A and B are shown apart, each in its own frame.
Chain A
Amino acid sequence: MMKKTHINLLWIAISLIATVFVACEDVIQLETPDSEARLIVNGTLTQRNEVQYINLRYSTNYFDTIPSPATGVKVILSDDKGRADILPESPVGSGRYRIDQPGVIGNTYTLEFTLPSGKVYKTLPEKLMPITQVEKLEYQFQNENDDKERSYTILLTANEFPNERNYYRWKLYVNDSLRDEPTDLSFASDEFLQQDRGRVERTVIYFGQFEIGDTLRVEQFSISERYFDFLTLVQLQTAFVGGLFDTAPAPILGNVVNAKDPSDYAFGFFNASAIEEGTVVVEN
């Protein structure tokens, strides 16, 4: 939690210094290199008793906006307890594959994709880790800018599993609409927490602009270390760009790899997570 907060603050500080000078951003036209279409995997398996989906598409060149769905893929979801389900495409032609049975906390899951071309991709194993409850959500007013937009931080109080390394992710829904801009990514490890305390109180998990009356709902996910690393890279390359101190751009390796050729991998990630949630309404 803290590590990310630092980077965020540093980011703000540096941007501010840049604005003192005559920095300027121009949208420009340029040609990017071509690439072959690659499989993109979007999928989260949770313990929630509801229908869940794995979304498969193909990548495009950078400035092409319409990706095509990956249809006709044979998708097998298996766990370490002997389950092996073939996921049906639903509806056919959508590239969306339905999971009818929720995940079980403690089980380890893998997905296997056989493309119509015959290429086979497999995910690295994902263990569905337990999650603690959101005990309390609070918000704290920060400031109001010239456009009357009010900034707040969201503070979390929750128990935590002591004396082991855990990773968390939070998704924020404002009036049931997911905040999904790059700067909305929020995740953390408990590496720097007081370990034997097993608890965090009023620690910052979000910084954003809300209006009075907004309902803030936060989903808290247990995530794997591999997924944490993936999200870190995604954040570095989508949210923390455009400054003097951008990290060198680099390809992001998810957890979907060609079964025969480890240097060939698919984009995206398949993660297994347990979810708990909490809600707070912004009041005056």
Chain B
Amino acid sequence: MKFFIRFLLLICFLHFLGAMYAQSNKVTLSGYVKDANNGEALAQASVVIQEAKTGAYTNEYGFYSITLSPGTYTVKVSYLGYETLSQEISLVLSQTLNVELGTKVMTSEEVVILGESENDNITNVEMSTVKLDISQITRMPQLMGEVDIIRSIQLLPGVSTVGEGATGFNVRGGNIDQNLILLDESPVYNSSHLLGFFSVFNADAIKGLKLYKGGIPANYGGRLSSVLDVRQKEGNNKNFAGTGGIGLISSRLTLEGPIVKDRASFMVAGRRSYMDLFLKLSSDPDLNSNTLYFYDLNAKVNYKLGEKDQIFLSGYTGDDVFQFQDDFRFRWGNQTGTLRWNHLFNDRLFSNFTVIHSNYRYELGVPDEGDNTDPFKWTSRIINYNAKADLGWYVSPKYTLEFGVSGITYAFKPGEVRFLGNADEGDVINFEDFVIPDEHALESGAYISAEHKVNTRLSLQYGLRYSNFSSMGKGEVYVYDENLPFEEKSIIDTLYYDSWEKIKTFDGWEPRFSLNYTISEKSAIKASYNRLYQYIHLVSNTTSATPLDVWKPSGRYVKPARVDQWVLGYFRNFKNNAYQASLELYYKDFVDLLDYKDGADLLFNKTIETELLSGEGRAYGLELMLEKKKGDLTGWISYTLSRTERKIPGINKGEYFPSNYDKLHDLSIVANYRLSKKWDASANFAYMTGRPVTYPDARYVYEGLVIPNYGNRNGSRTPDYHRIDLSANYQMSTSEQKFQQSLSFGVYNLYGRNNPFSIFFRQNADRPTETEAVQLSIFAAPIPYITWNFNF
């Protein structure tokens, strides 16, 4: 609490300081950059003052602020995919200039320069980041036509997956739990539907996304390897509009529009799959009596209170529901809610205050129906409350300061099992209800970060984050006899903690640093370093994580993990920025990564700490990316050469061994070609080295069972992976029509390659003494799709 009071005092001081500074002989040009068609804020739009050879980028909320001497300037505002706007402005006093970019000419004084592309990638200090536009993703071929941002980012350098159909993604040798996935700033614990086949993000409700793989700025913390920042649309504040479609897997509808024109707007989006309807068509009773679907609901409203204040309220809820006849039920999903207040203390001090709630939960069980024996219901939840304040102080065009604080409370409820039935009515209840004790934690952080343009060639971003994590009561902690093996039987005492009573506290300083040395308008050298701590860990020892996996906070027996990452990059544009190329080298050093004892038992385990091991890891690689941004043909080629290894005492004799997601080569080609005003066609190609698997080095027969002996973890590899996807999009309407329709169709895995998901070993069904190796492939055939889309 003290921490927050101090912080408030700091804000007051800054407020005062800002006012003081404003009295000097400088003036400030500030405002918002928005999309002219729907009023959505444009983040990272560039605002350049040509005569002063200076400029700024808009922040996540579309705000910019530039302080300079009075004078007459040409202001150029540009954003990729939008027309650049150039306007002469006479600055005598500080002034607000709100800009709306689009196809529309705003006033007669303005000159619109068409099609000039940008070299942000050269001048920006950021590296190892990727921004993807939703319109770009929707044109790419998609599995069963479901526009999937998680699957799409896997085509970028440094991003991979353990196998198609697996949940989550791996960034530069990081496990899936090392990605901070944010939906409107709220953490999402499970980004998958159907156990990993589709992502929870309904593309129609999403404005854009940005992935940080390295050089992670100080305002982010809590995960080691990446930040995936997904923003929902704010809602069209000009006109009522809708988007939707019908596909093979799901149908979707998004509605948005002004509540009060230019002041308040809303967006609401829904999506539901109907795979269970297809199941019902099957004649197989094992299939047609099952229920299987998922849905998503996104909603957002925003209200502009005045020139200086805007509030946003957004929420998401989604579920997967699965019912296997009457025998078994399974359901899991995320819920998030974000309340955000943007406030301008003055024209150079921007602030964002956010309150977030998120809830991940699953339930499974045998319903108390029919003649089911031992019916039960098992639930598990993770509940978060998060409050944070982020401020941006635009000191001068050369110097921007960002700082803030954040506090997150966690409540982990790993498992609670209730047995159903009524003993008084004669139901037999064999089992006792039980609960794996809750765990609570508080994570707080404070950061300060500066972006400093030292001269026209050199710009720096340097920052420091302090993070603090306490595992807290209410809860219980077992004490083990140190002289005995670390197992349940060695428990000698249980310590009980009251609510908010600290069990164990960790903290750490996390320096962040990025450098850009611009050689010319066409090329730059960049470098970055970041240190991050991760205090909560996903406990999973399966090939692909399941929705049942529990998250374990650091505490008495689990240490926080830490990573140091160094990156060096060279960026070069060609042909008037139509082609953008980059080369990045990275090295990551991990400490205190969690791993599991051979054959660990992680479900329903009250003493899960006894199943865990910890060790170190390293990941290094080279990423190449060539992107074509302009013209009828657009797309990219990306190649990653990398290694990811772990060293865990107790596994493979304590020597380095490859991680599950280690892939030496990873090549992706994404291309879109505009054939005409009505037609465009796209193709993806992906190739990667097979992933590590464990082959048995011996077999033995025990009581008639042939048991493989797996001596060397991840000592072998699956065959290589490759596939091609094709798609075409047909615009059915002319651009004058209000109601726009289009068709997308394509095929995933064009040549039907049986790409390996895993290789496993079993006894032959007919000759049980013989053993065989079996390759499991998930999408082992060309999978066509067609989707009808509309918008108005």
Residues of A within 8 A of B (CB): 1-3, 5-7, 9-10, 12-14, 16-30, 32-35, 38, 40, 42, 57, 59-65, 67, 140, 143, 145-146, 153, 155, 178, 180-182, 185, 192-195, 197, 199-204, 229, 232-234, 236-238, 241-253, 267-269
A-contact bits for B517-551, CB 8 A (1 contact / 0 none)? 00000000000000000000000011110101000
Contact for B286 among A38, A143, A243, CB less than 8 A:
A143
Q: Give Cα distance in the complex from A67 to B279, angstroms.
A: 46
What is the distance, in angstroms, from A17's C-beta to the closest C-beta of chain B? 6
- Do residues A193 and B432 form an inter-chain contact, with CB atoms below 8 A? yes
Contact for A244 among B543, B775, B781, CB less than 8 A:
B543
Q: Give Cα distance in the complex from A13 to B195, angstroms.
A: 11
Contact sample, A vs B, 20 pairs, CB 8 Å cutoff: A5-B374, A9-B324, A10-B546, A16-B287, A27-B773, A38-B700, A59-B698, A60-B698, A62-B695, A140-B371, A145-B286, A155-B373, A192-B434, A194-B430, A234-B707, A238-B763, A241-B760, A242-B762, A248-B598, A252-B709
Contact for A182 among B166, B194, B705, CB less than 8 A:
B705
Contact for A62 among B596, B693, B761, B779, CB less than 8 A:
B761
Contact for A194 among B432, B705, B706, B779, CB less than 8 A:
B432
- Do residues A251 and B710 form an inter-chain contact, with CB atoms below 8 A? yes
Contact for A26 among B601, B660, B709, B777, CB less than 8 A:
B777
Q: Which of B465-473, B555-563, B764-772 contacts A (4 or more CB under 8 A)?
A: B764-772
A195: B residues at CB distance < 8 A: 432
Q: Which of B20-28, B30-38, B215-223, B751-759 contacts A (4 or more CB under 8 A)?
A: B751-759
What is the distance, in angstroms, from A1's C-beta to the closest C-beta of chain B? 8
- Do residues A59 and B699 form an inter-chain contact, with CB atoms below 8 A? yes
Contact for A17 among B195, B364, B697, B757, CB less than 8 A:
B195
A32: B residues at CB distance < 8 A: 695-697, 716, 773
What is the distance, in angstroms, from B432's C-beta to the closest C-beta of chain A? 5
Q: Give Cα distance in the complex from A220 to B374, angstroms.
A: 20
- Residue B603, interface by CB 8 Å: yes
Q: Give Cα distance in the complex from A203 to B706, angstroms.
A: 29
B609: A residues at CB distance < 8 A: none
- Do residues B698 and A62 form an inter-chain contact, with CB atoms below 8 A? yes
- Do residues A20 and B279 form an inter-chain contact, with CB atoms below 8 A? yes
Closest to B772 in A: A27
- Residue B694, interface by CB 8 Å: yes
- Do residues A33 and B760 form an inter-chain contact, with CB atoms below 8 A? no
Closest to B545 in A: A245
Contact for A248 among B430, B596, B703, B781, CB less than 8 A:
B596
Closest to B748 in A: A22
- Do residues B697 and A34 form an inter-chain contact, with CB atoms below 8 A? yes
- Do residues B760 and A242 form an inter-chain contact, with CB atoms below 8 A? yes
- Do residues A237 and B542 form an inter-chain contact, with CB atoms below 8 A? no
- Residue B378, interface by CB 8 Å: yes
- Do residues B697 and A12 form an inter-chain contact, with CB atoms below 8 A? no
- Do residues B698 and A244 form an inter-chain contact, with CB atoms below 8 A? no
Closest to A31 in B: B695
Contact A246-B542, Cβ < 8 Å, known A202-B428, A237-B710, A241-B762: yes
Residues of B within 8 A of A (CB): 163, 165-166, 194-197, 275, 279, 284-287, 290, 292, 322, 324, 327-328, 330, 364, 366, 371, 373-374, 376, 378, 417, 428-432, 434, 541-544, 546, 548, 596, 598-599, 601, 603-604, 660, 693-713, 715-716, 754, 757-763, 768-781, 783
Q: Give Cα distance in the complex from A169 to B475, angstroms.
A: 35
- Do residues B324 and A13 form an inter-chain contact, with CB atoms below 8 A? yes
Sample of 18 further A-B pairs with CB below 8 A, known A65-B770, A185-B705, A234-B702: A9-B366, A13-B324, A22-B778, A22-B780, A22-B783, A23-B780, A25-B775, A25-B776, A32-B697, A40-B700, A62-B696, A65-B769, A181-B768, A197-B430, A237-B710, A244-B166, A244-B195, A248-B598
Q: Give Cα distance in the complex from A229 to B376, angstroms.
A: 25
Question: Which residue, A22, A35, A57, A232, has most C-beta atoms of chain B within 10 A?
Answer: A22
Contact for A237 among B374, B707, B781, CB less than 8 A:
B707
Contact for B430 among A14, A25, A201, A229, CB less than 8 A:
A201
Contact for A33 among B711, B758, B768, B778, CB less than 8 A:
B711
What is the distance, in angstroms, from A275's C-beta to the closest C-beta of chain B? 14
Q: Give Cα distance in the complex from A32 to B759, angstroms.
A: 12
Contact for A241 among B378, B544, B761, B778, CB less than 8 A:
B761
- Do residues A242 and B776 form an inter-chain contact, with CB atoms below 8 A? yes
A200: B residues at CB distance < 8 A: 430
B195: A residues at CB distance < 8 A: 14, 17, 244
What is the distance, in angstroms, from B763's C-beta to the closest C-beta of chain A? 7
A185: B residues at CB distance < 8 A: 705
Contact for A13 among B328, B378, B709, CB less than 8 A:
B328
- Do residues A30 and B773 form an inter-chain contact, with CB atoms below 8 A? yes
- Do residues A193 and B165 form an inter-chain contact, with CB atoms below 8 A? no
A192: B residues at CB distance < 8 A: 417, 431-432, 434
- Do residues A178 and B166 form an inter-chain contact, with CB atoms below 8 A? no
- Do residues B324 and A201 form an inter-chain contact, with CB atoms below 8 A? no
Question: Which residue, A1, A19, A59, A178, has most C-beta atoms of chain B within 10 A?
Answer: A59
Closest to A61 in B: B698
Contact for A180 among B290, B327, B703, B707, CB less than 8 A:
B703
Q: Give Cα distance in the complex from A197 to B432, angstroms.
A: 10
B712: A residues at CB distance < 8 A: 33
Closest to B660 in A: A248
A21: B residues at CB distance < 8 A: 165, 197, 778-779
- Do residues B604 and A3 form an inter-chain contact, with CB atoms below 8 A? yes
- Do residues B430 and A193 form an inter-chain contact, with CB atoms below 8 A? yes
Contact for A249 among B366, B429, B546, B710, CB less than 8 A:
B710
Contact A247-B542, Cβ < 8 Å, known A14-B195, A17-B195, A242-B762: yes
Q: Give Cα distance in the complex from A241 to B603, angstroms.
A: 17
Contact A153-B759, Cβ < 8 Å, known A42-B702, A182-B705: no
- Do residues B757 and A244 form an inter-chain contact, with CB atoms below 8 A? yes
Q: Give Cα distance in the complex from A157 to B324, angstroms.
A: 26
- Do residues A180 and B705 form an inter-chain contact, with CB atoms below 8 A? yes
- Do residues B322 and A13 form an inter-chain contact, with CB atoms below 8 A? yes
Q: Give Cα distance in the complex from A25 to B770, angstroms.
A: 17
Q: Give Cα distance in the complex from A237 to B773, angstroms.
A: 13
- Do residues A33 and B541 form an inter-chain contact, with CB atoms below 8 A? no
A40: B residues at CB distance < 8 A: 700-702
B279: A residues at CB distance < 8 A: 20
Contact A17-B194, Cβ < 8 Å, known A60-B699, A153-B373: yes
- Do residues B430 and A252 form an inter-chain contact, with CB atoms below 8 A? no
Q: Give Cα distance in the complex from A124 to B755, angstroms.
A: 44
Q: Give Cα distance in the complex from A12 to B771, angstroms.
A: 23
- Do residues B698 and A35 form an inter-chain contact, with CB atoms below 8 A? yes
Closest to A195 in B: B432
What is the distance, in angstroms, from A133's C-beta to the closest C-beta of chain B? 17
Contact A22-B431, Cβ < 8 Å, known A33-B712, A181-B768, A244-B195: no
B708: A residues at CB distance < 8 A: 62, 237-238, 249
Contact for A10 among B364, B697, B704, CB less than 8 A:
B364
- Do residues B374 and A2 form an inter-chain contact, with CB atoms below 8 A? yes
A229: B residues at CB distance < 8 A: 599
B776: A residues at CB distance < 8 A: 23-25, 242-243
Q: Give Cα distance in the complex from A228 to B601, angstroms.
A: 12
Contact A28-B775, Cβ < 8 Å, known A17-B292, A42-B703, A268-B700: yes
B707: A residues at CB distance < 8 A: 234, 237-238, 252, 267
- Do residues A194 and B366 form an inter-chain contact, with CB atoms below 8 A? no
- Do residues B774 and A26 form an inter-chain contact, with CB atoms below 8 A? yes
A27: B residues at CB distance < 8 A: 772-775
What is the distance, in angstroms, from A281's C-beta to the closest C-beta of chain B? 20
